[in-house]
Structure 1
């Protein structure tokens, strides 16, 4: 079973809701029109089809319409996801979503904060090989805001994980956090408003398990293991900012996915999805817009993030 997460970079539909980013107002000077929208859908479909995950979490989807259109494009291109859900209970500008070949037992949304800037976390329960699997799709606050805002997401997620107990849990998405955020953010005063405490490392407990999964033992049921540790350090990235590789997108798993029973993480299977066509020189070939006072869409490019993928085996319960 292949599971992936992909920030698709602003997939907006062509219906005007009033919440759009300026350059995504349909049929405006920025040329967010049928041609650009169809090209964006086609390009994203190419990436997602090449990944061919059984379950893929998506970030930066504007609406159910945009998700449905992407799902339809994928079907036209030969990849069918029967099950889809977007976290649209709250009218944030962009939202998280999921596409799955496995049926959902239920979906629900975790409310992080009531301010418009806080996006809901999508919780999905699936039945895979007669086992329960819980997936949490995240898109945490960007580093335009301080760490305290990302801690709000981490605490909401941690509370729910504690309620579930010792289950098969995958938390994935764009955490806007490095897998060792506690090291990288200390030097940045505008981020560190929490006395060195980070959401991804301290609240979710990933700071305690910094070895390969094969060497990681005794993870507490309410703490998580970050799969980035399973690959070489120079390969741990999903984003490039001013030439610097960053790991903003993460896949975190609970201890029960490392116990060699039932659903289990396939050791060393983590990877970023980095074919040559997703790069332009040394940069990720993101969706292209012109410079100038009015930015215009060029009907070229993909996303500013790379997808992250992990594989799981579906054994029998011991």
Structure 2
């Protein structure tokens, strides 16, 4: 390939990168991208369960971050993206701590003693925690109708979780509740930051900043946790690294930047139900009739929140 062609491609990539950062996407486009992020995230827990067939929880959490960070660095280097400005460092640290390190590690630890279906319904509270964090952080609140739908959806998820767990909470639930808090902060800060930077750069820099800690943690974990490579284990690791952590977060932050943190977070009410479906198809878990009722109720809540104006 001649130098004029190379120069033209580089010019195109630079222009494309600038256009992505400057031109906001439409509301419909934002909804579609946020929904694509939810679809990617819905596979995270089943893929993590697969990954635990080959790796220990600490090793799996560290390796997924390392692989995702290497993908992100390749994109950042390929497009010659400049370092983020100093004012972006604090939000990026929150994104890294919440979505890159905290949530993956805590949910992986929870799946060591909990089923995927149980974890899915507890994580279903994430839309409410994200919406609350976004409202407080942004010093504004959505309409009453929005909150009625949000709390109703959360109530359905809580009732479903309690019913499935026999009315009690376990150590795995504590891990999951902590995961909700840190991930809500990461989602909300990432959504705000994606209004200034392309979503993939928000994800990319958060992953890049986490790489040294992930490498160190992975080296220690692999020294103590056994590794038994299987097809499911490797596939699970690849998906949580490339699919959920990088690609999923990319479209998710783009979507939040277009439609707002609160509205985008309510799309995640569908995430536990999708995860339940994947747990049946991929893990062979049984799905009872209560889940079907919960699915219908949650979808109604999603409709209410999406129609309510902020």
Q: For this structure pair, what is the TM-score category when the shorter chain's length is used for normalisation?
A: under 0.3
Where is the helix percentage greater, Structure 1 or Structure 2?
2
Task: Using CA pairs under 8 Å that are at least 6 residues apart, name the structure with larger relative contact order, 1 or 2.
Answer: 2
More strand by share: 1
